[in-house]
Structure 1
Amino acid sequence: MIEDVAPRQVWEALMSNPSAVLCDVRTSAEWSFVGLPDLIQTGKQPILIQWQAYPTMQQNPKFVEALTAAHVEPEQHVYFICRSGARSMAAAQAAKAAGYKHVYNVKDGFEGPADPRGHRGNVAGWKAEGLPWKQG
């Protein structure tokens, strides 16, 4: 079972645990146009590995290989984030199956669910929590 962790708790873990990492599994288009968690205060950068490739949204068959290539060790605490928490949960499950011991899903992801007007980013998730992020 993969634990859902609130964005603020993830931020605190990234600040307090030197080996904790954030792996953003959204698409390159989302990273470019929607924005990224800004981890400068933690002294870290998000690890960017697509779970699905835009525009086909085909699953990345080399996801675990890319995690290893990014020097993420099986003993590290790895927090996976996507737009709303679905792709990141799948990525966390794949990492756990590959032997990563401490994997977590960022609850509600970067943008969270849509509000009544269909807009994301102000109901729940990383952005709605007011955590640092940057665009472009």
Structure 2
Amino acid sequence: MPSVPDISPAETWEALRADPDAVLIDVRTDAEWNFVGLPDLAEAGKQPLLVPWQVYPSMQVNGAFAEHLRRAGLTPENKLFFICRSGVRSLSAGMAAQAEGFPHAFNVADGFEGPVDAEGHRGKVAGWKADGLPWRQR
């Protein structure tokens, strides 16, 4: 049975910069993209592909998820790096992508914001932002 390996945000960033066919797929909701921010891939000559895994506000799984990947021109040859807030939804999205014929799926460990710190805030302990990787407000 295929599995979706966890890969650190720093390793993801290096893969995105080195491999022209590598794609970062942000599976958070539109509200998260707008209010929390997005990975900034301009230095890699790319933009994240924004495809929600769950649809806000019902948070039902996006039944057209794999179709969105195909419509974006992705193929089984692409290396797909899935990112969410903390690495949970992105793991599910990666597993679904593998089941739909995308074998090279990776989960960005700790996601964009990572776990909460002692004060209950995200973005400081682990994840894309905490690792100091480029990001921007939408």
TM-score range, shorter chain: over 0.9
- Which residue is 2:10 aligned to? 8
**RMSD after superposition:** 0.5
- Which residue is 2:70 aligned to? 68
Gaps of 5+ in 2: none
Instruction: Give the drift of 1:54.
Output: 1.0
- Which residue is 1:40 aligned to? 42
Instruction: Give the drift of 1:55.
Output: 1.1
- Which residue is 2:20 aligned to? 18
Is the partner of 2:52 in helix, strand or coil?
coil
Instruction: Give the drift of 1:23.
Output: 0.2
Is the partner of 2:131 in helix, strand or coil?
coil
Rounded to whole Å, the distance in 2 between the matches of 1:55 and 1:101 is 30
- Which residue is 1:90 aligned to? 92
Rounded to whole Å, the distance in 2 between the matches of 1:107 and 1:61 is 24
Gaps of 5+ in 1: none
Is the partner of 1:9 in helix, strand or coil?
helix
The normalised TM-score by structure 1 is 0.99
Identity of aligned residues (%): 59
Rounded to whole Å, the distance in 2 between the matches of 1:92 and 1:122 is 25
What amino acid maps onto 2:95 in structure 1?
Answer: Q
State the 4+ residue runs in structure 1 displaced beyond 4 angstroms. none
Is the partner of 1:84 in helix, strand or coil?
coil
| TM-superposition CA deviations, 1:28-48 (whole Å, max 9, x none) | 000000000000000001000
Rounded to whole Å, the distance in 2 between the matches of 1:133 and 1:6 is 16
Instruction: Give the drift of 1:115.
Output: 0.4
- Which residue is 2:134 aligned to? 132
- Which residue is 1:111 aligned to? 113
